[in-house]
A = this chain, B = another copy of it.
Amino acid sequence: MTATEPTHRGRARIAEPGEGIGLDELALATRNHGMPLEALRYDVTPPGLHYVLTHYDIPAVDPATWSLEVGGAVGRPLRLTLEDLQRRPAVTSRVLLECAGNGRARFEPRPVSQPWLLEAVGTAEWTGTPLAPLLEEAGIADGAVDVVFTGADHGVERGVEQDYARGLPLAEAMRPEVLLVWGMNGVPLPPQHGAPLRLLVPGWYGMAHVKWLTRVEVLDRPFDGFQNATAYRLKVDAGDPGEPVTRIAPRALLNPPGWPDFMTRERFLRPGPVPLTGRAWSGRAPVTGVDVSTDGGATWSAAELAPADPAHPFAWRAWQYPWTAEPGTWELLVRATDAMGSQPTEQVWNRQGMANNLVQRVPVTVLG
Rounded to whole angstroms, the CA-CA distance of A41 and B192 in the bound complex is 13
Whether B36 and A119, one on each chain, are in contact in the complex, defined by CB atoms closer than 8 angstroms, is: no
**A46 contacts B by Cβ under 8 Å:** yes
Answer whether residue A361 sits at the interface, using C-beta atoms and an 8 A cutoff.
no
Q: Which residue of chain B lies nearest to A367 when distances are taken between CB atoms in the complex?
A: B161
State in angstroms the CA–CA spacing of A105 and B31 once bound together: 14
Give the distance to chain B from A191, nearest Cβ to Cβ, in Å: 6
Closest Cβ of chain B: how far from A171's Cβ, in Å?
29
Q: Is A221 an interface residue (CB 8 A)?
A: no
Is there an interface contact between B265 and A27, defined as CB atoms closer than 8 Å? yes
- 24 CB-based A-B contacts, threshold 8 Å: A20-B21, A21-B21, A21-B22, A21-B23, A21-B26, A26-B29, A28-B263, A29-B29, A31-B34, A31-B119, A33-B33, A33-B34, A38-B57, A38-B58, A47-B48, A47-B190, A49-B192, A155-B259, A155-B261, A156-B268, A157-B261, A158-B263, A161-B259, A161-B268
Q: A20-B21, A31-B34 are in contact. Are A48 and B190 (CB under 8 A)?
A: yes
User: Which residues on the B side are within 8 Å of A7 (C-beta)?
Assistant: 263-264
In the complex, what residues of B have CB within 8 A of residue A116's CB? 30
1-50 of chain A: CB within 8 A of chain B: 6-8, 19-34, 36, 38-39, 41, 46-50
By beta carbon, the residue of chain B nearest A36 is: B31
Given contacts A56-B262, A155-B260, 10 further A-B contacts (CB under 8 A): A7-B264, A8-B264, A24-B265, A30-B105, A33-B33, A38-B58, A41-B60, A48-B52, A49-B191, A158-B263
- Say yes or no: is A131 at the interface (Cβ < 8 Å to chain B): no
What are the 7 tightest A-B residue pairs by CB atom distance, in nearest-first order? A20-B20, A33-B33, A48-B48, A21-B21, A29-B29, A157-B262, A7-B263
Docked pose: A55 CA to B263 CA in angstroms: 9
Q: B29 near A30 (CB under 8 angstroms)?
A: yes
Q: For the complex, is A154 an interface residue (Cβ under 8 Å from B)? A: yes
- For A23, A154, A268, the residue with the greatest tally of chain B CB atoms inside 10 Å of its CB is A23
- Residues of chain B within 8 A (CB-CB) of A117 are 23, 26-27, 30
Q: A113 contacts the other chain (Cβ, under 8 Å)?
A: yes
Q: Does A200 reach chain B (CB closer than 8 Å)?
A: no
* Chain B residues, Cβ within 8 Å of A192: 36, 46, 48-49
Decide if A25 touches B21 in the complex (CB within 8 Å). Answer: yes
A202 on the interface (CB 8 Å rule)?
no
Q: Which residues of B contact A33 (CB under 8 A)?
A: 30, 32-34, 52
Q: How far is the CA of A48 from the CA of B34 in the complex (A)?
A: 11
Q: Chain B residues with Cβ under 8 A from A27's Cβ?
A: 117, 265
Contact B263 A24, beta carbon cutoff 8 Å: yes
Task: Report chain B residues within 8 Å CB of A158.
Answer: 262-263
Whether A72 sits at the interface, judged by CB under 8 Å, is no
Tell me the smallest distance from the CB of A185 to a CB of chain B, in Å.
Answer: 10
Q: Which residue of B lies closest to A41 (CB)?
A: B60
A183 within 8 A of B: no
CB distance from A352 to the nearest CB of B (A): 12
Report Cα–Cα, A130/B338, bound state, in Å.
53
A66 to chain B, nearest CB (A): 16
- Bound Cα distance from A53 to B307, whole angstroms: 35
